[in-house]
C-alpha cells in the first residue's frame, strides 16, 4: 500500500510539470497543445516562429488558456534553451523540424542542423537528467524511400499494388529503411538516434512515422500539407499544380486522431519505448490526388484549373500505412473518415476566410515552408 501511495504521489508531482512541445506553435503542435490544455495540463511551446501562421496559433492558445500555456521563442538548435525547458518538462513531444523535401534539396546543411542536430540537443538534454521524462518523436514515411520496388497497377484515378497483402494492409515497419533526399536522410537519422538513445541510454522514447496529417490550423503549400493546399487553392479559385499524373496514393489521418495516438504513446511509454510505429489513416482512409480533387469539386461546386508538372525527387507513387503494430499495442484506430475529415477542414478554412486571403502574401514574403506534413503532391 505504501508503494502504491508513493507511486501515485510521484505521478501527480510529474504531471504538475508542463508538457514541452518543440515546434509547438505549428499545425500539429497547436492541436496537441489545445487537447492537453483542455484536459488540465500546462504546456510550454518552444518555437522559433519562423513559419507563417504559428505566432497566431500561439496567440490564440494564450487568449483561451492564459498563463497555463507559455511561449518560449527559441530554436531547437539552441542547446541551452532546449536543456532548460526539457529539464522542467513532464513529457517532451519533439516536432520542431525542417519539413519539406524541396527545401532540403536547396539547403541540405540547414536541413541537417535542424533535423539531426536539433534532435540530438533534445536527446542529450534528456540523457543528462536523473529521471528523464518520456519523449515522443515525429518521424516520416520518407524513411522508407521512394518505394520504387513496389509494382503498381494503374487505374483510372489511382495506383494499386499488385501485392494483395500490401494493397489490403499497407506498408509495415518491417519494410527496410531506404533514405531518399536530404530530408529523408535527416529525418531518418533523427529517427534512428531516438531509437538508439532508448536502447543505449534507457530513455523512454518512441517514434511515430507519419503519413499525411491534415486538419484545422493547417495552411499547406506546394512543399507540404497537400490536402489543405489543394483546398486553399480551390477556395481562392487559383490554379492547382499537380506533380506527376495525380494518381499517387496516400492514406490521410485527421489531426485529432493523431493527437489520440500521441497521448496513448506518452501514457504507454513504459511498454512502447524503443519502438517505431507507422501512423496514418491506413487502408480505410486512402485517397489519390485526383480523387481528392474530385471531392473538392463537390465541396466547392466548381472545377479547379489543373496544371501538371514533372514528378519531384523522393515522391512515392504509393504509400499507405500499416498501423497494425500500434493498434495491437494500444487499441488505437482512426475515428475520422477521410471524406468527413476533408469536409471538416473545408468548413474550418471557410470560417477563417481572412487567413485565406492573407496567407499567400505572408508565405511569399517570408519564403518559409509551414505545417507538419511533408509534401505538396508527395506525402
Question: Distance (Å, rounded) from C-alpha 372 to C-alpha 224?
Answer: 7
> What is the Cα–Cα distance from 8 to 117, expressed in whole angstroms?
36
Q: Give the 3-state secondary structure of 90-150.
A: CEEEECCCCCCHHHHHHCHHHHHHHHHHHHHHHHHHHHCCCCCCCEEEEEEHHHHCCCCCC
CA-only gyration radius of the chain, Å = 20
Known catalytic residue at 183 = yes
Asked if 209 and 141 touch (Cβ cutoff 8 Å), the reply is: yes
Q: What is each CA distance from 7 to 12, 92, 134, in whole angstroms?
A: 9, 21, 16
Nearest to 145 by CA among 107, 185, 108, 114: 185
Q: Dihedral through CA 232, CA 234, CA 236, CA 240, nearest 10?
A: 90
Q: Which of 144, 159, 183, 318 is catalytic?
A: 183
Compute the half-sphere exposure of residue 371: CA atoms within 13 Å on the CB side of its CA: 26
Residue 155: Cβ-neighbour burial (10 angstroms; 0-12, 13-18, 19+) = exposed
Return the sign of the alpha-carbon dihedral for residues 336, 55, 210, 40: negative
Which residues have a catalytic role annotated? 183
Amino acid at each position: 500500500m505504501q508503494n502504491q501511495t508513493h507511486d501515485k504521489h510521484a505521478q501527480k508531482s510529474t504531471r504538475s510539470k508542463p508538457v514541452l512541445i518543440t515546434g509547438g506553435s505549428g499545425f500539429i503542435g497547436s492541436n496537441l497543445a489545445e487537447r492537453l490544455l483542455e484536459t488540465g495540463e500546462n504546456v510550454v511551446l518552444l518555437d522559433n516562429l519562423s513559419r507563417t501562421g504559428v505566432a497566431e496559433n500561439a496567440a490564440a492558445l494564450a487568449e483561451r488558456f492564459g498563463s497555463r500555456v507559455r511561449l518560449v521563442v527559441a530554436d531547437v538548435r539552441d542547446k541551452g534553451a532546449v536543456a532548460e525547458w526539457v529539464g522542467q518538462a513532464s513529457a517532451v513531444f519533439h516536432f520542431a523540424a525542417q519539413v519539406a523535401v524541396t527545401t532540403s534539396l536547396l539547403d541540405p546543411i540547414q536541413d541537417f542542423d535542424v533535423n539531426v542536430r536539433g534532435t540530438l540537443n533534445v536527446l542529450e538534454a534528456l540523457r543528462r537528467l536523473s529521471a528523464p521524462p518520456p519523449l515522443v518523436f515525429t518521424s516520416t514515411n520518407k524513411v522508407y524511400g521512394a518505394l520504387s520496388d513496389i509494382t503498381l497497377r494503374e487505374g483510372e484515378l489511382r495506383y494499386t499494388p499488385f501485392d494483395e497483402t500490401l494493397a489490403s494492409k499497407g506498408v509495415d515497419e518491417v519494410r527496410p529503411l531506404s533514405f531518399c533526399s536530404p530530408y529523408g536522410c535527416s529525418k531518418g537519422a533523427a529517427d534512428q538516434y531516438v531509437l538508439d538513445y532508448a536502447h543505449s541510454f534507457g530513455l523512454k522514447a518512441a517514434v511515430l512515422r507519419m503519413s499525411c496529417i491534415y486538419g484545422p490550423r493547417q495552411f499547406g503549400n506546394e512543399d507540404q500539407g497537400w490536402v489543405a493546399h489543394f483546398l486553399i487553392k480551390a477556395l481562392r479559385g487559383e490554379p492547382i499544380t499537380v506533380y506527376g499524373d495525380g494518381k499517387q496514393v496516400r492514406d490521410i489521418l485527421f489531426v485529432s486522431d493523431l493527437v489520440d495516438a500521441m497521448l496513448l504513446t506518452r501514457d504507454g511509454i513504459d511498454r512502447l519505448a524503443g519502438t517505431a510505429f507507422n501512423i496514418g489513416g491506413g487502408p480505410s482512409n486512402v485517397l489519390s490526388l485526383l480523387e481528392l480533387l474530385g471531392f473538392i469539386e463537390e465541396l466547392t461546386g466548381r472545377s479547379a484549373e489543373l496544371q501538371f508538372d514533372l514528378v519531384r525527387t523522393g515522391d512515392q507513387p504509393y504509400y499507405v500505412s500499416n498501423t497494425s503494430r500500434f493498434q495491437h499495442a494500444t487499441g488505437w484506430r482512426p475515428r475520422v473518415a477521410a471524406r468527413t475529415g476533408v469536409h471538416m477542414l473545408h468548413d474550418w478554412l471557410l470560417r477563417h476566410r481572412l487567413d485565406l486571403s492573407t496567407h499567400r502574401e505572408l508565405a511569399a514574403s517570408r519564403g518559409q515552408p509551414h505545417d507538419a506534413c511533408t509534401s505538396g503532391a508527395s506525402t
